[in-house]
Structure 1
Amino acid sequence: RVEDAVVVAAPDASGTQRLVAYVTGAPSGLAEFLADRLPAHLVPSLTVPLEKLPLTPNGKVDRAALPAPELAAAERTRAPRDPREAVLVSLFADLLGQPDAGPDDDFFALGGHSLLAMRLAGRVRSALGVDVAIRDVFDHPTPAALAEVVLPRGTRRAPLTAGERGEREPLSFAQQRLWFLHRLE
């Protein structure tokens, strides 16, 4: 049902490049169609429907004339339920450059991708002290889902404490290799 299409890499609010598809025709179900056939990193994070693609005098797509993509957040139906969910919402908003993100907004629909998912997992670990795998972000892409499923079952990290040091610590394999190469030269 897509008549014409062009995909470009466009910066989002945070300056991160993401794929944006500009399509003419009836693109309903396009994201699911592409997700079934392409690797995740090649699926556009946003689809912008147009009546027709802007063309140069030579008949090529005028990429400079394409409209700037707008990320639309889901309608707010509620506020965060608890402080942890509020922290997750603020992490999503900060990372995605979407100050109006809410508890039911999908991370990937707002322009998230695998690299940002890694950053999000790290920030959740730092802010809440809970181990979150990147797979968890993919399986539970909203702050509400992440709070419900991951945080209750998460394991708290033990705080780092200084331990007793011996006079000489054993070398790691990489250090042994460097020492050996140094001695060899």
Structure 2
Amino acid sequence: MKATVKSSDLELTVDVDRFTTAGTNIFDRSYIGMISFVATESVAKSVIAVLHLGKRGGWIEMEDESFTVYPEGYEIRRMKLPRYRAVHVVAVAKVKGLLFGELEPALAAYLKSPEISTPILDEWIPNVIESLKDFGLIAPVKSFGISAHYCTVTSEQLDEVVTKLLQNKTITIPSKRHLHAG
């Protein structure tokens, strides 16, 4: 997909192979959450410079929509492709809860991160996903070339979700005889 990258003194076009917004609400979905592209070294450096503008401005236009640079910045990875005299760039916004790929494993990994203190068993994840959707705490984001979701759940909210699922017996804690060391 063609994207036009702009700042106050720059305008160039790149071929984007993956893209997401940074969130689901009216404010966050106008930010670039993740972008992946292959370009020459000079074009890649220019796009990275625009992404580093943060709050000072910079935006990308795709399919008649405009997306602004995430103000908190990006984690940027580059890989040179010497055979093609190009660089592959992947930039991911520094935003908590932006999940990529298949939802179940991505959410399982996120819920086991240091930000979340609620203990979660892998077998509970499908039920937890449904509850988080019901409460509006996880939703798909606008994306191209990759599946992506945004999860806003806090440890306290997840505690409540797990407690309700345990109380109504949707999920259970296995007995000791069913537990085994991995």
> Which bin holds the TM-score, normalised by the shorter protein?
under 0.3
Q: Which structure dedicates a bigger proportion of its chain to helix?
A: 1
Q: TM-score, normalised by structure 1?
A: 0.25
Q: Which structure dedicates a bigger proportion of its chain to strand?
A: 2
Task: Name which one, 1 or 2, has greater alpha-carbon Rg.
Answer: 1
